[in-house]
Chain A
């Protein structure tokens, strides 16, 4: 019974994780950058939703719009202002820059909002649906469904729109895209913007059931990495499954271990996958 309950919680949470990891995967694919600030960008979404709710009573699912706008602008500016100027530099410098960005965001939140844990106290926060003796938390269910819709929307965007197609072209072959007259620098900005939007949207929906605090960024970053690796780098479809897997594993971890030790589950998964199947569980053979 406990296991089935943990499975449900894990699966629902995993949907949001997949959305979160999708942003990381996009940036990794297009820009070849390990974005260590990703978890902190998720926090931006959480705080946006929290403040809009606390000040104006706007529901997180409505404030997602604001969160998306903030995310896109922030991502676009970061890429344009900080990352584009060092495109030619060695990769590890770009990684350090994202680290510095993460540091700035986290401490900005710390300075402005303090160390408190904030909850978005919506009317449905504690509602549950009972199903065959199992408990389904309504906020988690809503977050799961909205994440699926957003992920679907993202795939449509990538398949159908010109911008999406150009981003995919730049991912597959940067030089060829450049030769076809693609303004690669602008595409980088757009891609980082869209990646950040995915992060902040995940943040908005996660804020309905996880307390908002400035120190959760690293956890989100790590979870996203585990998912991207588990799903296989470059495999967007694998991400969904990877997200669900990590969600379930984390919930199982809470059954087995106390407190923060539950992360050992997903980190252990990362180690094992990297050793045994580096192309990811669902990735193509390298």
Chain B
């Protein structure tokens, strides 16, 4: 009971700290934090099937894209507010997710094969969108902007802080869902399936059903992230949100943070996004000192190096490192006893 109170207190304090950020931080810090929290959100949604269920989907960009494009098209063509449109996107995305999950799991596509098949589907979806006139092809889609006081009713704000609060709220909500899921029957089933699918099935867990449900929840939730991005940037493009490239990018923070844990995706995103920003700054500094405008892509070289170094020293992820330290401490304690 005591530890529980401590946990609740410290998490509330942390949340309160995050809530105060718009008061003291400039728009630059806010921008980085919005993107970090957004990736944390996407990672947490992916985590439901990828982390807990152990089904490494490299195709979740498709669902982000579906979410973004559905709400944006509904708004641009019919003037439906994205607040509602996002739910339409989420339902559509869940349907597609269920379809993909049903096919893959029915045919028992597992492990690396599942990663490859979702990868291929994601790329096909991206190519399809890039050749569809309705969604603006490769050029992308601009959202109509609403000026004046009715902006907020259409998920459009003049300043950054409302977006920050919204994505913070979305993240907290999804973290709560993950927290509850982890302790539910469903969560234990999923972990059993991840551990050993055949053994789990022998014990009467319907692996097929579990995986389908997890895929459905995951793709439903992640679509909201797509809508958020569309409203935040007011512009979407297939190769920004869909395809292999983004689908991998979305998984990186989660894997670095620790997949299959509640806080892993957020920790990973909060570590990596500032590091990515740091490599951008470093590139700018080098550019300025040598007075060149070249060095295109230099920041990604640094980012790649950072990624390698991080993995080199934390091969089990941030959460793995943390629990590893705790276990070491615990074993020392036992040894003393």
Contact B104 A275 (CB under 8 A): yes
When distances are taken between beta carbons in the complex, the residues of chain B under 8 Å from A36 are 248
- Cα A97 to Cα B252 in complex, Å, equals 10
When distances are taken between beta carbons in the complex, the residues of chain A under 8 Å from B296 are 110-111, 114-115
When distances are taken between beta carbons in the complex, the residues of chain B under 8 Å from A278 are 107-109, 113
Contact B255 A275 (CB under 8 A): no
Interface check A99, CB cutoff 8 A: yes
The listed residue (A85, A226, A276) touching B107 by CB distance below 8 A is A276
Contact B252 A108 (CB under 8 A): no
For chain A, residues 92 to 113, give those with C-beta under 8 angstroms from any C-beta of chain B: 92-93, 96-97, 99-101, 103-104, 106-108, 110-111
Interface check A249, CB cutoff 8 A: no
Interface check A268, CB cutoff 8 A: yes
Chain B: CB-nearest residue to A86: B315
Contact A106 B297 (CB under 8 A): yes
> Contacts A96-B252, A271-B124 given: A101-B116 contact, CB under 8 Å?
no
> Contacts A85-B312, A96-B252, A103-B304 given: A267-B124 contact, CB under 8 Å?
yes
Chain A: CB-nearest residue to B256: A96
Decide if the interface of chain B is mainly helix, strand, loop or mixed.
Answer: helix
When distances are taken between beta carbons in the complex, the residues of chain A under 8 Å from B297 are 106-108, 110-111
Count of CB-CB pairs between chains A and B under 8 Å: 119
Contact A225 B116 (CB under 8 A): yes
- B168 smallest CB distance to A (angstroms): 27
Interface check A210, CB cutoff 8 A: no
Chain B: CB-nearest residue to A225: B116
- B153 smallest CB distance to A (angstroms): 39
When distances are taken between beta carbons in the complex, the residues of chain B under 8 Å from A96 are 252, 255-256, 307, 311
Interface check B13, CB cutoff 8 A: no
When distances are taken between beta carbons in the complex, the residues of chain B under 8 Å from A93 are 255, 311, 315, 317
> Contacts A101-B304, A110-B297 given: A92-B255 contact, CB under 8 Å?
yes
Interface check B245, CB cutoff 8 A: yes
- A86 smallest CB distance to B (angstroms): 5
- A54 smallest CB distance to B (angstroms): 20
Given contacts A99-B252, A111-B294, 9 further A-B contacts (CB under 8 A): A86-B311, A92-B259, A100-B304, A101-B304, A103-B307, A261-B127, A267-B124, A271-B117, A274-B113
Spell out B's residues near A (CB within 8 Å).
56, 103-104, 107-109, 112-113, 115-117, 120-121, 123-124, 127-128, 130-131, 244-245, 248, 252, 255-256, 259, 294-298, 300-301, 303-305, 307-308, 311-312, 315-317
A sample of 9 cross-chain residue pairs with beta-carbon separation below 8 angstroms, ordered by A number, consists of A34-B115, A92-B56, A104-B305, A108-B301, A110-B296, A229-B116, A274-B120, A276-B107, A278-B107
Closest 4 CB pairs of A and B: A89-B315, A107-B297, A110-B297, A104-B304
